[in-house]
Chains A and B, each alone.
Chain A
Amino acid sequence: MSDIGNKKTFALDDDHVMVVIGSGAGGGTLAAELAKKGIDVVVLEAGKLTPRTEFLPDEWASFTQLAWLDKRTTSGTWRVAKDFPGLPAWICKTVGGTSVHWAGAALRIQPHEFKARTTYGNLPGANLLDWPVTREELDPYYTRAEDKMGVTRTHGMPGLPGNNNFKVMYGGATKLGYKECSTGHMAINSTFRDGRNHCFQRGFCFQGCRYGAKWSTLYTEIPQGQATGHMELRPECHVSRIEHDKTGKVTAVLYYDASGHLQRQKARAVSVAGNSIETPRLLLLSESSKFPDGLANSSGQVGRNYLRHTTASVYATFDHQVDMFKGTTMAGIISDESRFDPSRGFVGGFHMETISLGLAFYSSFLNPGAWGKEFAEAMDGYSRTAGMWIVGEDMPQESNRITLNHDVKDQFGLPVANVHFDDHPNDTAMRDYGFERGEAVYRAVGARKTYRVPPYPSTHNLGTCRMSEKPSDGVCNSYGQAHDVPNLFISDGSQFTTGAAENPTLTIVTLALRQADHIAAQMHKGAI
């Protein structure tokens, strides 16, 4: 166990510790922040500890190494349910969570997006709500998060150098008159900083950053937390239930350890940060006579309003070499379309961000299920191909939700999560518009052929335990504190009230910093 890096371990019956479930951007950051404040924390992570020296420059092998492959099921009209029925999400089961896999885009949610209901109005079928927190309140925490993560174009960090894929995007964006196109705000070191190397442009961002240039809790927050002597990391510990006492306060968590034995860790407070599918699943699994619809679910909103961003990709082939794989995956961002402008036929906005896939993933995701001459021709053009990802705000809908599928069990005999998703008409309108704009960008610099690529399994999973002003509208308050259970916290993207048009990790970290201050203050007051 020594190579896990713990300086301190805690007893199972030690009820003064805070238990954090999940070690990704939310859980890993929260745990480290609490430990730095002297609060004792036990981090339970379902995945293994994989040091970055063991990351693999091989897409499928890496996927098998890092991805969450426990059983899940899908339903709804989204194409992922047809193409990848057992893989609704492309997220990680490893120490560091999906912060190992993310591409590094670190964008602040825009002020008007925190007021989605006020700004967008009453959209039929959309369960829109304003966040109970404003951009102004979060700005100091955003600043801290950017400093901590080393976000380019903040705190004196230069931008990353543009690669070939970016050069194509920039050329097209400029010809279309877009004004906001650059190598973006990325939590990837452009210079040596904070003990971490600069980016060497490997092009394996999704497979884990071997140089540690991209921020991940795996090699930043987690070892920092352990170094305080106030944090214990327990990998391969899969939490199955959160227990509570007669008053409704949580008291312990049950988990299966690495050898499959059921353990009970007592707790003063619990944070759930298992990403937006496992987090609501765990609350639903923790139903009791006091909480018959699931823990902290008096609103009925646990698992609902599942958001995955309105996504799509556009790839285009050119007459000449592009080699999109040379360098960072998300090498450039166009932000002009992220504005609020309903004249385009939809509310909310989107970003266009370069994306590149290696040959193996390109063949699997370009048009799942496709075959024949047209597909082969697209593959023949691989080295002359540029690519972008469209990432925009999708509308919260109550019917898009995570539920327990009692017909399918996981390796512990627990019902798996079913992920149901249908596009809202606003999502479809935005995606169609995004396709057109993306194709226009590439045609402006001579694209020979463009390809509209359907959404991949979701990496941005949000909204399933959303924060709300009123307890009847959501699961937690603006600090991620459950409305129903004062010593239970939601610390991942589940707490997002709406999805906004920005990649979520920076905001997850920002909320975790704010939550840590709140928890420390509550503990100081003796409230929890």
Chain B
Amino acid sequence: MQSHPLPDPVLATPEAGPAPAAPIAATRRGVLKATGLLTGTLALSSVLASLAPSRSWALDLKGLSSHQGAVILAFSRHLYPHPHLEDAVYALVVKELDGKAAATPATKKTLADGVARLDHVGSGDWLKRGAALQEIDVAAMEGTPFFTLVRSTAVVALYNNDMAFAHFGYGGKKGNDGYLYKGFNDLKWLPNPPAAASGPIPKG
């Protein structure tokens, strides 16, 4: 089994920088030489609508085919099943893995082999298999290099982006100036501790 001293994306992107951006908007496509394409549409009610330039999203793939991307997206949904979380967020897992596949032939092979194995158990197209069977297939893959790679990438890529922060209710960089004068101690379902256990709010 592959051993990951750090969650993979951290090592793979030493410059790190800001959280992964939303998939490329459909209107801005066209420059890259793509090997595949993933597309989707945000739900009308989505809390993420304000974070995306348009409701339609598209992700150009540079190392994976469209089918491989779609299988990995579906696989990620089974790994971390959040029924109300948009595909646009899961697409960030595909984006991260696609980048690794484009950069490293061994990674590309690991992903291709994993998708081929899933397609094999799915009689040619794993995406046509029922969700309950897909769930069993995912569990059966645990311990394989494919599973380890997808899981260790997904656990970071899926939860470390502004769309996930909005969905799960984490403030992220919105807290950069501090909550002291905006939303601090706003929990109402328990009483305030006595002054002796707490302390005064400094005057602005």
Q: Are both chains from one complex?
A: yes
Please, what's the 1-or-0 string for B1-38, where 1 marks a CB less than 8 Å from any CB in chain A? 00101110110001111110000000000000000000
- With A87-B6, A167-B190, A327-B184 as known contacts, state yes or no: A64 contacts B198, CB within 8 Å: no
B170 contacts A383, C-beta separation under 8 Å: yes
**Which chain B residues lie closer than 8 Å to A161 at the CB level?**
184-185, 198-201
A85 contacts B3, C-beta separation under 8 Å: yes
Which one of B42-50, B56-64, B120-128, B154-162 is at the interface? B154-162
B185 contacts A87, C-beta separation under 8 Å: no
Confirm or deny: B130 has a beta carbon within 8 angstroms of a beta carbon on chain A.
no
B183 contacts A363, C-beta separation under 8 Å: no
A202 contacts B176, C-beta separation under 8 Å: yes
Which one of A94-102, A137-145, A316-324 is at the interface? A316-324
B198 contacts A162, C-beta separation under 8 Å: yes
**Which chain A residues lie closer than 8 Å to B178 at the CB level?**
199-202, 211
Please count how many residues in chain B sit with their CB below 8 Å of the partner chain's CB atoms.
Answer: 55
A359 contacts B199, C-beta separation under 8 Å: no
Please, what's the 1-or-0 string for B179-192, where 1 marks a CB less than 8 Å from any CB in chain A? 11101111101111
- With A325-B171, A360-B156 as known contacts, state yes or no: A379 contacts B179, CB within 8 Å: no
Closest to B6 in A: A87
* Cβ-defined partner of B168 (8 Å) among A162, A192, A326, A379: A379
B151 contacts A167, C-beta separation under 8 Å: no
Please, what's the 1-or-0 string for B123-164, where 1 marks a CB less than 8 Å from any CB in chain A? 000000000000000010000000000010001101110001
* Cβ-defined partner of A59 (8 Å) among B6, B79, B81, B160: B160
**Which chain B residues lie closer than 8 Å to A85 at the CB level?**
3, 5
The complex places the Cα of A181 from the Cα of B179 at a distance, in Å, of 23
**Which chain A residues lie closer than 8 Å to B16 at the CB level?**
58, 60-61, 63-65
B187 CB to nearest chain A CB (Å):
4
B7 contacts A200, C-beta separation under 8 Å: no
**Which chain B residues lie closer than 8 Å to A182 at the CB level?**
193, 196-198
B183 contacts A326, C-beta separation under 8 Å: yes
The complex places the Cα of A211 from the Cα of B139 at a distance, in Å, of 47
Closest to B198 in A: A162
The complex places the Cα of A158 from the Cα of B197 at a distance, in Å, of 10
Closest to B184 in A: A201
A450 CB to nearest chain B CB (Å):
17
Please count how many residues in chain A sit with their CB below 8 Å of the partner chain's CB atoms.
Answer: 67
**Which chain B residues lie closer than 8 Å to A198 at the CB level?**
202
**Which chain B residues lie closer than 8 Å to A65 at the CB level?**
16
- With A171-B191, A371-B80 as known contacts, state yes or no: A383 contacts B18, CB within 8 Å: no
Residue of B151, B168, B181, B197 contacting most chain A CB atoms (<10 Å): B197
Closest to A380 in B: B82
A323 contacts B199, C-beta separation under 8 Å: no
B29 CB to nearest chain A CB (Å):
27
**Which chain B residues lie closer than 8 Å to A58 at the CB level?**
16, 18-19, 172-173
Confirm or deny: A372 has a beta carbon within 8 angstroms of a beta carbon on chain B.
yes
**Which chain B residues lie closer than 8 Å to A210 at the CB level?**
176
- With A162-B197, A170-B197, A358-B172 as known contacts, state yes or no: A364 contacts B155, CB within 8 Å: yes
B167 CB to nearest chain A CB (Å):
9
The complex places the Cα of A202 from the Cα of B168 at a distance, in Å, of 19
Closest to B5 in A: A86
Please, what's the 1-or-0 string for A492-507, where 1 marks a CB less than 8 Å from any CB in chain B? 0000000000000000
A171 contacts B190, C-beta separation under 8 Å: yes
A383 contacts B17, C-beta separation under 8 Å: no
B141 CB to nearest chain A CB (Å):
11
**Which chain A residues lie closer than 8 Å to B5 at the CB level?**
84-87
**Which chain A residues lie closer than 8 Å to B172 at the CB level?**
57-58, 358-359
Please, what's the 1-or-0 string for A266-293, where 1 marks a CB less than 8 Å from any CB in chain B? 0000000000000000000000000000
* Cβ-defined partner of A364 (8 Å) among B7, B170, B173: B7
- Give me the interface of A with B, judged by CB distance under 8 Å: 57-61, 63-65, 69, 84-87, 152, 158-164, 166-168, 170-171, 181-183, 190-192, 198-204, 210-211, 318-323, 325-327, 358-360, 362-364, 369, 371-373, 375-376, 379-380, 382-383, 445
25 residue pairs A–B, Cβ–Cβ below 8 Å: A57-B173, A61-B17, A64-B15, A64-B16, A84-B6, A161-B198, A166-B193, A167-B187, A171-B190, A171-B191, A171-B193, A182-B198, A192-B202, A199-B180, A203-B179, A326-B183, A359-B170, A360-B156, A360-B160, A363-B156, A364-B156, A371-B79, A371-B155, A382-B168, A382-B170
- Give me the interface of B with A, judged by CB distance under 8 Å: 3, 5-7, 9-10, 14-19, 79-82, 139, 151, 155-156, 158-160, 164-165, 168-173, 175-181, 183-187, 189-193, 196-202
Known: A166-B193, A202-B175, A363-B158. 7 other contacts (CB 8 A): A57-B173, A85-B5, A87-B5, A152-B199, A322-B187, A379-B80, A379-B168
